[in-house]
Structure 1
């Protein structure tokens, strides 16, 4: 699996209406409105070294439902700090990349935030 991440492009209300994001995130600490949605663009990651992983305030928009208004784990968008630059990525996508590369260090970092990823 190719390593990828996402860069923040802006809030939906501030971008050209014709822009199509690769990923949409919503902040569950605020009322969910599409105008306040965060738009992200996918980028290729050439340097997979990670120094830290932090929770962002965003979850994947497609994962928020009436039954699951505050999804955990897979739907959480994390901030990856790396020597090559910081980027965002849903935790499940980062776990898939780590699994494809047999990267136990990334799973340890994910496990510190989410019990489901503890090795």
Structure 2
């Protein structure tokens, strides 16, 4: 159940960010759900491999290179999903940063309330 809630939160945040950021386009809410699912799959399967391959850069930048990896994951998902478009690396990086921030913020509020019940 928590996985579905996290996917829906990510989809809503992605849809809102696509409305705000001019370089990110998501056609409709169903596409936003697909974006959230594909991002979670890529984060589970591809991201660990990218982290391993770029470990020296990640260590040298004290972990800041992980933001670049997240932007690459966004750009990879852009190629797989029709109706989802990111216009360049910098928009992917900004989209990734904001999506991570808002997902963390909202999920922390929702799941900490569930624990307090």
TM-score by length of 2: 0.29
User: Which structure has the higher relative contact order (CA within 8 Å, separation 6+)?
Assistant: 2
Q: TM-score, normalised by structure 1?
A: 0.29
